[in-house]
């Protein structure tokens, strides 16, 4: 299993990845900038995500909204920002590839002359509304902010969320935005993948023509900050919710680091599907929770494994916590069953294959090639990535649980209905959200 590709690096440092697939007469263009909220500084958060908005508002040679010409050509397009990277993508009919490259290259090379105060103010208002919609007005929506702020110290770049803090967004000035762009949005900090109905030589010639005139910007030094907790933390947050929910997170290794795959498998065997250990106990047998989930959130310079469960009416978060920690203890002592290991392998193989069904969009082959290229420096990492899951054993999974799922690496967050602080886990203190 692999994605065939060719890779070329232009003189200005832009990585170009090409993958041929003629199943559908479409091409995915996927451009990663290796910049995310991790590259922001305290007091200046939300920049990378704000840029994702500004990049659709026009550039020097096409100073209007980017959606109009691309949608008119039959493209689907969007972008996304996380802590580690920003991506921009179009899926276009094959005949519109050049249009997509024209526009992507114009906003890489010529954005700032078109970036006015008016556009900036409008998109800041849109982002503040995005924040209201997805965080402030959504039940449990502020929990992720509280959890990140507790897991990572104020000077660690995972301390804040990509959407940014309100005060920072309101205070940001246009010249700061310009400086941020010049530092991070240039060929030497980017990788472009084309997947689909292309002739690789012709496609490379097009990419070269449009991008090679853009100068490389300053070298971006990797961000390296270690995360550590000062012992276990217990927090509460009140919100407009009817049922209390408990979040437990542990600091874990970074993406692709040793034992990251094991922790991914642990999250699955704990709470993925009705056969998982916590679903069976909390929801199916004891019926003290309405739902449970788990994920290993692996990021470029660190990760956290998070469990979340919502209390059924009449049950206390402390009951949920007891079962959740009990299952962690059992896993640490006994490790997974051989059945769970087998299941984890076939699920990994299936999930990897399912990801290859599309050329692009959110996910798909173009995004996968870029992920491996940007984070591992090797678009061919697919097989080695899968091998991490196939190589996991009962012993290595048990060891990962023992090493990482310890009280000293843990934050417990109770989200309770407004004013019902007594429903939080005992000895919790108020969480910080900004």
Partner 1 sequence: MIVNRSQLPEARRGRPFVFPVIEKSRLPNGLHVWTVRHAAVPVVTSILLVRRGSASDPPGKEGLAAITLDMLDEGSGGRSAIEMHEALARLGAQFDNDIGSDGSALSVTTLSRFAGQGLAIVAAMAARPSLADADFARVRQLRLHRLTQLRDIPGAVADRAFVRLLYGDHPYGHTPMGSEPSLAGMTVDDVRAFHANEMTPSIATLITVGDCEHEEIRRLAGDAFGGWHGAAQDLAACDETPAAAARLHVVPRPGAPQSELRIGQVSAARHTEDYHALVAANMVLGGQFVSRINLNLREDKGLTYGARTAFDFRRMRGPFSLQVSVQTAGTARAIAESLDEIAAIRGPRPITEAELALGVAALTRGYARSFETPEQIARAAMQIALYDLPDDYFAQYVPRVEAVTAAEATAAAARHLDPSRLVTLVVGDLDAIGPDLERLGLGQPIVLSATTF
* Helix, strand, coil distribution of the chain in percent, nearest 5: 45, 20, 35
Instruction: Write down the least CB distance from residue 124 to partner 1, Å.
Output: 8
Between 75 and 235, CB nearer to partner 1:
75
| Two tokens, residue 276 | 């998982």
**Hey, what's the torsion of the CAs at 339, 340, 346, 349, to 10 degrees?**
-150
Smallest CA-to-CA distance from 203 within 193, 212, 213 is with 193
- Give the nearer residue to partner 1 in terms of CB position, either 243 or 400: 243
Closest to 34 measured CA to CA, from 103, 88, 93, 99: 88
Distance CA 326, CA 273 (A): 19
Least distance between partner 1 and beta carbon 302 (Å): 29
296: which 2 tokens? 């290993």
Smallest gap from residue 322 Cβ to partner 1 (A):
20
State the minimum distance, in angstroms, from the CB of residue 397 to partner 1: 16
Structure tokens given for 166: 């309100």
CB 208 to partner 1: min, Å: 8
Q: Is 106 or 300 the residue whose CB approaches partner 1 more closely?
A: 106
Q: Of 397 and 411, which CB lies nearer to partner 1 in the complex structure? A: 397
Q: Which is nearer to partner 1, 337 or 408 (CB)?
A: 337
**The sheet that has 429-430: what strands, in order across it?**
289-299, 302-311, 245-252, 410-417, 233-239, 429-430
Q: What are phi and psi of 103, to 5 degrees?
A: -75, -45
Provide the pairing of β-strand 190-196 with 26-33: antiparallel
Separation between Cα atoms, residue 179 and residue 366, nearest integer Å: 29
Q: How far is the CB of 331 from partner 1 (least distance, A)?
A: 17
Q: How far apart are CA 195 and CA 22, in angstroms?
A: 9
Residue 97 Cβ, how far from partner 1 at the closest point, in Å?
Answer: 9
Of 282, 290, 299, 297, nearest to 249 (Cα)? 297
Q: Which of 158, 131, 127 is nearest to 51 (CA)?
A: 127
Rounded least distance, CB 106 to partner 1, Å: 7
Nearer to partner 1, 72 or 218 (CB): 72
Residue 205 vs 429, nearer CB to partner 1: 205
Q: Which is nearer to partner 1, 18 or 251 (CB)?
A: 18
């Amino acid at each position: 299993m692999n994605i065939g590709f060719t890779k070329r690096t232009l003189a200005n440092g832009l990585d170009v990845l090409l993958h041929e697939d003629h199943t559908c007469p479409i091409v995915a263009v996927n451009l990663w900038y290796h910049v995310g909220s991790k590259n922001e500084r305290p007091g200046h958060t939300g920049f990378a995500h704000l840029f994702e908005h500004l990049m659709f508002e026009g550039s020097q040679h096409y100073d209007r909204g980017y959606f109009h010409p691309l949608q008119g050509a039959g493209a689907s397009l969007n972008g996304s920002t996380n802590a580690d990277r920003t991506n921009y993508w179009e899926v276009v009919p094959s005949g519109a590839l050049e249009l997509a490259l024209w526009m992507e290259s114009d906003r890489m090379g010529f954005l700032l002359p078109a970036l006015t105060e008016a556009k900036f103010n409008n998109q800041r208002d849109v982002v503040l509304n995005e924040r209201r919609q997805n965080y402030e007005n959504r039940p449990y929506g502020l929990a992720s902010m509280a959890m990140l702020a507790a897991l990572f110290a104020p000077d660690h770049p995972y301390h804040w969320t990509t959407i940014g803090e309100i005060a920072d967004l309101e205070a940001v000035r246009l010249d700061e935005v310009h400086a941020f762009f010049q530092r991070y949005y240039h060929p030497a900090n980017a990788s472009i993948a084309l997947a689909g109905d292309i002739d690789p030589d012709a496609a490379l010639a097009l990419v070269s023509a449009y991008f090679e005139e853009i100068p490389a910007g300053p070298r971006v030094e990797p961000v390296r900050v270690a995360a550590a907790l000062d012992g276990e933390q217990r927090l509460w947050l009140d919100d407009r919710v009817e049922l209390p929910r408990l979040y437990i997170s542990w600091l874990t290794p970074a993406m692709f680091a040793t034992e990251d795959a094991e922790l991914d498998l642990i999250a699955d065997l704990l709470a993925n599907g009705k056969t998982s250990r916590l679903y069976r106990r909390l929801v199916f047998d004891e019926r003290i929770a309405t739902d449970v989930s788990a994920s290993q959130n692996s990021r470029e310079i660190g990760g956290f494994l998070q469990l979340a469960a919502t209390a059924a009416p009449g049950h206390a978060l402390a009951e949920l916590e007891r079962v959740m920690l009990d299952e962690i203890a059992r896993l640490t002592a006994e490790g997974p069953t051989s059945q769970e290991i087998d299941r984890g392998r076939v699920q990994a193989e299936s999930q990897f294959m399912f990801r290859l069904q599309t050329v692009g969009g959110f996910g798909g082959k173009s995004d996968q090639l870029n992920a491996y290229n940007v984070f591992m420096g090797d678009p061919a990492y697919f097989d080695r990535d899968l091998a991490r899951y196939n190589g996991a054993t009962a012993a290595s999974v048990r060891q990962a649980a023992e090493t990482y799922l310890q009280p000293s690496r843990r934050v417990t967050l109770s989200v309770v209905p407004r004013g019902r602080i007594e429903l939080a886990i005992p000895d919790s203190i108020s969480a910080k959200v900004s």
